[in-house]
Amino acid sequence: MAEHHDQHGAHGAGHDEHAGHHPNYKKIYFTLLGLLVVSVVGPVFGIVWVTLISAFGIALVKANLVIQNFMHLKWEKRIAKWFLTASLVLMALFVGGVSVDVLNHEGNNWENIAAQAAVERGLAAAAGEEVVEEEAAEPVDVGFNAPNMFNLVCASCHGAAGDGKGAAGLALDPRPANFTDPAFWAERDRARIVNVITNGGASVGRSPLMVGWSASFSAEQIEQLADYVETFRPGA
């Protein structure tokens, strides 16, 4: 490190070579106001590319005028430009990285049902059509499918085969129930299964690791899950 730091004294701006640059601010200010008028008038014509250029192109020009001349970045040391650019680049990386997922509402292995429904509802409403109330009232039912739901939330413990050997289940004590074991079914009836899925293991004196799902699923959905659990029963 150089021992020779600039000692600026109390004002801190003593030998600042950046100081003293004062372009014609009034001229820049009026240019900015002129550009503002253009950006408001441009979209009036309703031509897409005119709107895009007059709104966003001009925003870039205005921002650049302010940054270079009012913020004096034009005369600033290069290091400031570098780290401002660095943070812009990082921000662009973030936006670019997630954009494919946000812009699209479906991909190879996924589908954003809620977003698709929102677009549909919104466009219908904008077109003045009656929004069908039922659609909005029961959003959870959209695409509920017991096997998929079991694989999504239950299989981590119970295993996709229902044998209690899910990846997370292996670590639990007691182990998750094995629905493929005849002994399991010997002691349990349908009402018991529905009750456990609804209220959890603790409600029947079993492990609280098996939580109740009444907050996540409707009674109808729990019946469907119970149906699916019964498909693992040997001989079912």
Residue 158 contacts which entry, ligand HEC, another protein, none (Cβ below 5-8 A, type-dependent): ligand HEC
Residue 84 contacts which entry, ligand HEC, another protein, none (Cβ below 5-8 A, type-dependent): another protein
192 binds another protein (CB under 8 A): no
Phi-psi region of 206 (alpha: psi -120 to 50; beta: other; left: phi over 0): beta
Q: Please name the residue that has the structure tokens 């996540």.
A: 216
Residue 40 contacts which entry, ligand HEC, another protein, none (Cβ below 5-8 A, type-dependent): another protein
- The residues pairing with 111 across neighbouring beta strands, listed in sequence order, are 106
Terminal CA-CA length for the chain: 80
* Neighbour tally for 142: CB within 10 Å: 11
Distances in Å between the Cα of 173 and the Cα atoms of 75, 167, 170, 207 are: 68, 13, 8, 9
Residue 110 CB, shortest distance to another protein, in Å, is 14
- The residues pairing with 106 across neighbouring beta strands, listed in sequence order, are 111
Residue 99 CB, shortest distance to another protein, in Å, is 5
Q: Is 14 helix (H, G, I), strand (E, B) or coil?
A: coil
Q: Which is nearer to ligand HEC, 121 or 188 (CB)?
A: 188
Q: Which is nearer to another protein, 18 or 192 (CB)?
A: 18
Task: Choose among 78, 77, 81, 80: nearest CA to 17.
Answer: 77
Residue 31 contacts which entry, another protein, ligand HEC, none (Cβ below 5-8 A, type-dependent): none
Query: Dihedral sign, CA of 146, 151, 152, 154?
Result: positive
Q: Give residues 75-104 in contact with another protein (rule: CB under 8 A).
A: 76-77, 79-80, 83-84, 86-88, 90-92, 94-95, 98-99, 102-104
H helix count then E strand count, the chain: 11, 0
Q: Which is nearer to ligand HEC, 76 or 230 (CB)?
A: 230
22 binds another protein (CB under 8 A): yes
Site string for another protein, 138-177 (x = CB under 8 A): ----------------------------------------
Distances in Å between the Cα of 158 and the Cα atoms of 13, 71, 114 are: 69, 62, 28
The residue type found at 5 is H
- Please give the residue ranges that form the binding site for another protein (CB under 8 A): 1-2, 5-13, 16, 18-20, 22, 25-26, 29, 32-33, 36, 39-40, 43, 51, 55-56, 58-59, 62-63, 66-67, 69-72, 76-77, 79-80, 83-84, 86-88, 90-92, 94-95, 98-99, 102-105, 115, 118-119, 121-123, 125-126
